[in-house]
Structure 1
């Protein structure tokens, strides 16, 4: 399965992702593999809750419909907000964004919503139960991702809320009950509606896509409409055939930062079919967010032996990270998805990307040293990591100076690992990014024989 990828969005039972002491079960290892491949290929995965939770999800969506249906046709000015105008860790209660034709009720444990004009309002039902259900699921999924990345158990616990919250603590994570395109919700949103001849009304957001700043997001909707961009740049409808106890999970920018870019965030957008719909599209969206007074750093990735690029070297305060803007153009320019053991097909591989760059007359050819570095990182993720995973080996690279003596010693600390994964003779056991250029060539030749000759030929073909 790791070699060919998944033909469609992966489905994983939540009960199979719950960690337990001792050796991992076969169902756990298979579920982690499906989870990681689906995130790599589609930036999303379907999580199946136990059948007993289906009734809770269904009743919560019903309550959400009734809650928004009974609201006024146009909200007062003091509760109209956009996502940019709201403090990320203090949202609570009802908000409306008429330009996106979206209404939201944020539930954040520990924070009492302030109602306009001191009026009493009954929130949607079941929010504490849904918050606890999604929160536990998000942490189990995060631990499964950490297991696949060869990180220690629960590596992100220090940046997450206490379970349960301490006295007077306010939750960083939030459960948003959302309603898109309620027909009775009126305002300057009509420019978002297009009418098709002999067809339904479709709503398109003002922005082409959005990206969450969460570690993980879980979304359960009553109608299809959530699209996520996959590894090949296509928009995939991810909630078209959800069962009553199924939800969509996708990673956010905070996880991208905390894993040094090895887990890409999901770009998503919502498109809604308005035909025969009196309530709009209702959804439950849980965002697992880091605590505000902590830092996002890549120390766990560094300890696990991953190469950390310059942009991830310094810790980032969570509060600063959550409040600043993050351009998404650069997020998919890094060959980071192979860490999930997903081997892309030839049409979507890095080789295709390199060919496209070469065919573009405006793009300059990469200098030899940079090309060596990128190719070494690719081979590490595609070949070496796969061998290590199959043999159950955790890669812990040495210091370059120290390992120059290790490679001449039979009983050195890295001797067994080098032998098990077929590390080339005479090449220090350090991250390929940090190897000298000559050693990089030896590393590449060991795992892809003929690499040097093939690239020399391609260089001659490109020369005028």
Structure 2
């Protein structure tokens, strides 16, 4: 009878040393190990993970942690095309509530709901729970991320505030920014899309706003890095981890210094919240703050009303590919500020480059642009010929760094 009980994994009386007289514990421990092997965890995210509290604007002197967080956020956006923002526990609880309400509200159906603050519900219209609270939490995080990006570009953190909705919204005014709550599953047929909801596709997608924050209960978004490699960006998805993407409006007002995030949805068996920080309709998108900071501006970035910029027809005429792979332009297509900042920067990106090299014509390049110039054997600024053997380090930049 004892042998039979042991075979069923029933615990036995312990000996004086505290160990069991049989081996039922090993028998009970093996199923969880097999389960863990069957469901391996997602690979670690290659993106920088920045706490919202570390990049949120505040009064007083900036702490050392603020500068590190801003630098990590900007580096992740530049090198990987995205970043992860970790929000506090209280905000994560609101996001979790909104994700759970999405599944309950749609009850397994393919559906999406677009929420805008200040809009009154129509007769008979129902809304998922926690929309107003989720809008406030995600809006706060999006504005903090935008402030951090401005600081990295050596601008005032509030430089873009005049382009956004007022906070709080005036009475009877509807927000320009929007929150899309969606629930889709794997039975979604090919080609079927939801209102404003990205569908599973191999084609890259971009947003037209400043920044986009995505929260989901399951991974499913791939992002393309500047080298053209696609990777799973939301592998650490959850209510407290928001995927940060940059849009066309931010790229325009920064004269291309902030690249446009390209992404695609690879898994639709998920509930998601997508917050888009959008300029208000009366805003004028221009690059005057960037020019005043000493960056080089291409003439393609002309002032434009936000209402026209956000229009679908304008987006089609000015496709993302035209900004990513434009032909070489002459010096006349640039507006340069004769400042030390512009002299020590990449003429196209405006960013400081530690590997900057000077050409015979006097223009300086580094990073990806330096590689492109060498391959073309021609300066993309003045169209002069380039001899790779004649390049020399930008020593002025090195002294400036010291």
Same topology, TM > 0.5:
yes
Question: Counterpart in 1 of 2:306?
Answer: 318
- CA-CA distance at 1:261 after TM superposition: 1.1
Question: Counterpart in 1 of 2:285?
Answer: 296
Root-mean-square deviation (CA, aligned residues, Å) is: 3.3
- Secondary structure (helix, strand or coil) at the match of 2:227 reads coil
**Which aligned pairs between 1:253-332 and structure 2 lie closer than 5 A?**
253-272=248-267, 280-312=269-301, 314-323=302-311, 324-325=314-315, 326-332=318-324
Kept in 2, the 8 Å contact 1:40–1:338? The answer is no
- CA-CA distance at 1:370 after TM superposition: 3.3
How far apart are the structure 1 equivalents of 2:399 and 2:82? 25
**Which aligned pairs between 1:267-416 and structure 2 lie closer than 5 A?**
267-272=262-267, 280-312=269-301, 314-323=302-311, 324-325=314-315, 326-333=318-325, 339=351, 349-357=368-376, 365-366=378-379, 369-370=382-383
Structure 1 residues 379-434: Cα deviation after superposition (integer angstroms, max 9, x where no partner):
99x9878976x6xxxxxxxxxxxxxxxxxxxxxxxxxxxxxx8xxxxxxxxxxxxx
- CA-CA distance at 1:328 after TM superposition: 1.3
Residue of 1, 21, 28 corresponding to 2:59: 21
- Secondary structure (helix, strand or coil) at the match of 1:369 reads coil
Question: Counterpart in 1 of 2:99?
Answer: 61
Measured at CA, do residues 68 and 295 of structure 1 come closer, stay the same or move farther in structure 2, by a change above 3 Å?
A: same
- Secondary structure (helix, strand or coil) at the match of 1:210 reads coil
- CA-CA distance at 1:180 after TM superposition: 2.9
Question: Counterpart in 2 of 1:230?
Answer: 225
Kindly tell me the number of residue pairs found equivalent between the two proteins: 317
How far apart are the structure 1 equivalents of 2:186 and 2:286? 41
Measured at CA, do residues 62 and 387 of structure 1 come closer, stay the same or move farther in structure 2, by a change above 3 Å?
A: farther
Question: Counterpart in 2 of 1:147?
Answer: 151
Kept in 2, the 8 Å contact 1:224–1:240? The answer is yes
- CA-CA distance at 1:51 after TM superposition: 2.1
Kept in 1, the 8 Å contact 2:57–2:157? The answer is no
TM-score normalized by the length of structure 2? 0.70
Structure 1 residues 77-121: Cα deviation after superposition (integer angstroms, max 9, x where no partner):
xxxxxxxxxxxxxxxxxxxxxxxxx6321100122344xxx5x24
- CA-CA distance at 1:366 after TM superposition: 5.0
- CA-CA distance at 1:139 after TM superposition: 0.9
How far apart are the structure 1 equivalents of 2:153 and 2:321? 25
1:9 aligns with 2:57: no
Residue of 240, 245, 249 corresponding to 2:244: 249
Kept in 2, the 8 Å contact 1:51–1:245? The answer is yes
Question: Counterpart in 2 of 1:86?
Answer: none
Higher relative contact order (CA 8 A, sep 6+): 1
Question: Counterpart in 1 of 2:210?
Answer: 215
Measured at CA, do residues 41 and 343 of structure 1 come closer, stay the same or move farther in structure 2, by a change above 3 Å?
A: farther
Between structure 1 and structure 2, the one with the greater Rg is 2
Is there any run of 5+ residues in structure 1 with no aligned partner, and where? 1-6, 72-101, 193-202, 274-279, 359-364, 391-420, 422-464
- Secondary structure (helix, strand or coil) at the match of 2:297 reads coil
How far apart are the structure 2 equivalents of 1:341 and 1:368? 17
Is there any run of 5+ residues in structure 2 with no aligned partner, and where? 1-44, 193-197, 327-345, 357-365
Kept in 1, the 8 Å contact 2:81–2:260? The answer is yes
Measured at CA, do residues 127 and 338 of structure 1 come closer, stay the same or move farther in structure 2, by a change above 3 Å?
A: same
Measured at CA, do residues 256 and 241 of structure 1 come closer, stay the same or move farther in structure 2, by a change above 3 Å?
A: same
